[in-house]
């Protein structure tokens, strides 16, 4: 055996069944050995960024760390966006980069780069392996760190001479010994009591549900809490689906492009219960005006997040599921009928369907992306796994699809990485072949990782690709229109023939220009057992509203476009 065998055997101990990897000179000893281990499927993306983002999608639908593998130098640096995305969105991932031999390390050898130094700010932990004897322990620690506490990416840099090192015996450690690393579980009883007092006396409470609820599998406990105390629930982008959109106490997503009624509810609340979320700038608006009348309870497993962005009255450090279970034991059964009625009133006045009915943002001869998303929702009965890119398509997908289960919406939240959709959809489909995976992407975003159509082609992945072509980098163009006097600099796109490109990859593809055609082709996509791409020619000046302009408060949500 050599070090490459030890690595693979260690991965098998962690029940790894898929690696998203790209080969290079220093990975050859490892790839050579992989053929001896058919238990692990190796997926070759067409770009290393695709490997990291596919591993991201794999984690989101399975809850198990995704694994990506690349060579040194440019192979490693091409992973950076995917690693940063995993870091921002708390995605469990193990990244393995192979490295030049230790004998030439530090000499600017061919394809040498200090990738451990580069990734240190965007990983939960990283390792440089200089002794093959340490490899089993490091792999075990990496998977433990990636999947416990607040999940995140863990990086292992592995020199080629360590991969080639002879090993007599393989022993995988049974225990983890990480002094100083403690995973919070339940919150302090005294703080639970303080939280209970605030909840029981509150007249206008709101629960803000984030990605942490999904990660900790806390949906059932949160549902029990909001129903027992009749607390309206509002989600972040990545919290969508943690509580079904159809639940009577669910009032949509808040923030920059959240529902106006959700923003009004938060602005007028007297108690905010933040559960597994970060209070980031996209949901708070002007931070010193955020929920000024409210006390704040913040539940999070990461102590660095509590109090980072907003003043917290009661910090509850711990696992969301266990902390909510603590609250459920003591919280009083209560009615907030008038408060819920008030939010429903805002909902009735500002819901998207009413805005659309009373006057669209503009009359358009083009297809409108919001209508297409609604049609996808209708024809899939809201059961599809939606993987968005970043930009207008992302917000329309959040606003107009009905999410009923956790991780039904996969999206790049904190980093906002264009090019996310295609490779993440690949990771999700590889992880769960029976899932109905739809990739929603703009004409700008698809060109960031359009080469991954090759991966879809090779593995015959029946992913439904919904491409919205408005000829612009739409979200930037929207800002230029609203705040920069329509000075459209560097946002108009000269696009290729996307249908022809898809067909060149042996993917069925169609251009869609009318509403009647759109309904017919979405039905065709829904019934298809093969990969398919639909290019919708959408309105170039169709804006995502509601919107809270940067620096404004949630109560200053723009609902309609000024004529």
Residue range 121-144, pLDDT digits in tens: 999 999 999 999 999 999 999 999
Q: How confident is the model at residue 366 (pLDDT cuts 50, 70, 90)?
A: confident
Torsion angle, alpha carbons of 176, 179, 180, 186, to 10? 40
User: How much is the pLDDT for 562?
Assistant: 63
According to DSSP, the β-strands at 153-159 and 93-99 are: parallel
Tally of residues, the chain: 563
Nearest to 395 by CA among 560, 545, 286: 545
Q: Which tokens hold the place of 239? A: 């919290």
pLDDT per residue over 465-509, tens digit each?
A: 999 999 999 999 999 999 999 999 999 999 999 999 999 999 999
Q: pLDDT by residue (tens digit) across 399-410? A: 999 999 999 999
pLDDT at 361 over 50: no
Q: Is residue 358 predicted with pLDDT exceeding 70?
A: no
**Range scoring the smallest mean pLDDT among 340-344, 490-494, 556-560:** 556-560
What are the structural domains of the chain?
A: 3-164 (3.40.50.970), 189-349 (3.40.50.1220), 362-544 (3.40.50.970)
Alpha-carbon distance of 356 to 352, in angstroms, equals 6
Q: Report the C-alpha gap between 68 and 7 in whole angstroms.
A: 13
Judge whether 362 and 544 are in contact, CB under 8 Å. no
Confidence band of 362 (pLDDT split at 50, 70, 90) = very low
Residues 407, 411, 417: CA angle, nearest 5 degrees: 155
Interior angle at CA 403, CA 418 and CA 353, nearest 5? 90
Q: H/E/C letters for each residue in 455-490?
A: HHHHHCCCCEEEEEECCECHHHHHHHHHHCCCCCCC
CB atoms within 10 A of CB 563: 6
First to last CA, the chain: 72
Strand (E) or helix (H) holding 282: helix 281-284
Q: How far apart are CA 386 and CA 304, in angstroms?
A: 31
**Which burial class, exposed, middle or buried, applies to 277 when counting CB atoms under 10 A from its CB (0-12, 13-18, 19+)?**
buried
Please report, for residues 273, 442, 507, 548, 553, the alpha-carbon distance to residue 348 in angstroms, rounded to integers and kept in the order given.
24, 31, 43, 19, 21
pLDDT digits 0-9 by tens, 370-392: 999 999 999 999 999 999 999 99
80-99 mean pLDDT: 98
Residue owning tokens 């980072």: 308
Q: Is the pLDDT of residue 354 over 70?
A: no
Q: Are 381 and 393 in contact (CB under 8 A)?
A: no
Q: Please, what is the average pLDDT of the chain?
A: 95
| Tens-place pLDDT, residues 102-119 | 999 999 999 999 999 999
**Of 398, 393, 401, 402, the residue nearest 369 (C-alpha):** 393
Q: How much of the chain exceeds pLDDT 70, in percent?
A: 97
pLDDT at 305 over 90: yes
Q: Is the model's pLDDT at 237 over the cut of 60?
A: yes
- Residue 115's pLDDT is 97
What's the pLDDT tens digit per position in 177-229? Answer: 999 999 999 999 999 999 999 999 999 999 999 999 999 999 999 999 999 99
Question: Do residues 393 and 440 touch, judged by C-beta distance below 8 A?
Answer: yes
- DSSP reduced 3-state for 439: strand
């Amino acid at each position: 055996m050599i070090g490459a065998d030890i690595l693979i055997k260690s991965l098998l101990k962690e029940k790894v069944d898929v690696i998203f990897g790209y080969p290079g000179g220093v990975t050859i000893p490892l790839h050579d050995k992989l053929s001896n281990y058919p238990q692990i499927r190796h997926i070759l993306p067409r770009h290393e960024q695709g490997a990291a983002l596919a591993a991201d999608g794999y984690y989101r639908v399975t809850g198990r760390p995704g694994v990506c593998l690349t060579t040194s130098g440019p192979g490693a640096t091409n992973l950076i966006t995917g690693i940063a995305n995993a870091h921002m969105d708390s995605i469990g991932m193990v990244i393995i980069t192979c490295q030049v031999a230790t004998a030439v390390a530090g000499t600017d050898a061919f394809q040498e780069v200090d990738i451990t130094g580069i990734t240190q700010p965007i990983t939960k932990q990283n390792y440089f392996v200089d002794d093959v004897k340490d490899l089993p322990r490091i792999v075990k620690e990496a998977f433990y760190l990636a999947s416990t506490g607040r999940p995140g990416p863990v990086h292992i840099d592995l020199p080629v001479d360590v991969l080639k090192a002879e090993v007599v015996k393989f022993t995988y450690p049974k225990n983890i010994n990480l002094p100083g690393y403690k995973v919070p579980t339940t919150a302090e009883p005294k703080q639970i009591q303080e939280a209970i007092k605030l909840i029981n006396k509150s007249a206008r409470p709101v629960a803000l549900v984030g990605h942490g609820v999904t990660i900790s599998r806390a949906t059932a406990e949160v549902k029990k809490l909001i129903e027992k105390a009749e607390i309206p629930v509002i989600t972040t982008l990545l919290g969508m689906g943690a509580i079904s959109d159809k639940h009577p106490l669910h009032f949509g997503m808040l923030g920059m492009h959240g529902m106006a009624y959700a923003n009004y509810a938060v602005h007028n609340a007297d108690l905010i219960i933040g559960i597994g979320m970060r209070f980031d700038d996209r949901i708070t608006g002007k931070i010193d005006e955020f929920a000024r009348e409210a006390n704040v309870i913040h539940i999070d497993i990461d102590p660095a997040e509590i109090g980072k962005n907003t003043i917290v009255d009661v910090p509850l450090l711990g696992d969301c599921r266990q902390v909510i279970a603590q609250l459920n034991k003591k919280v009083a059964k209560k009615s907030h009928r008038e408060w819920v009625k008030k939010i429903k009133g805002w909902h009735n006045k500002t819901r998207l369907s009413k805005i659309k009915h009373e006057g669209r943002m503009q009359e358009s001869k083009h297809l409108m992306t919001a209508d297409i998303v609604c049609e996808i929702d209708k024809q899939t009965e809201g059961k599809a796994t939606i993987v968005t890119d970043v930009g207008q398509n992302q917000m329309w997908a959040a606003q107009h699809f009905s999410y009923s289960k956790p991780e039904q919406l996969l999206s790049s939240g904190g980093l906002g990485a264009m090019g996310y959709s295609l490779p993440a959809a690949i990771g999700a489909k590889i992880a769960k072949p029976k899932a109905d995976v739809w990739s929603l992407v703009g004409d700008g975003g698809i060109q960031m990782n359009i080469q991954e159509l090759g991966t879809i082609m090779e593995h015959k992945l029946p992913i439904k690709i919904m491409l919205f072509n408005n000829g612009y980098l739409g979200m930037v163009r929207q800002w230029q229109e609203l705040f920069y006097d329509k000075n459209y600099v560097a946002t108009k796109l000269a696009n290729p023939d996307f249908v022809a490109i898809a067909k060149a990859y042996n993917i069925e593809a169609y251009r869609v220009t009318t509403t009647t055609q759109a309904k017919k082709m979405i039905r065709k996509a829904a019934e298809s057992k093969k990969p398919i791409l639909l290019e919708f020619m959408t309105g170039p000046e169709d804006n995502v509203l509601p919107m809270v302009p940067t620096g404004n408060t949630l109560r200053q949500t723009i609902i309609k476009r000024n004529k």
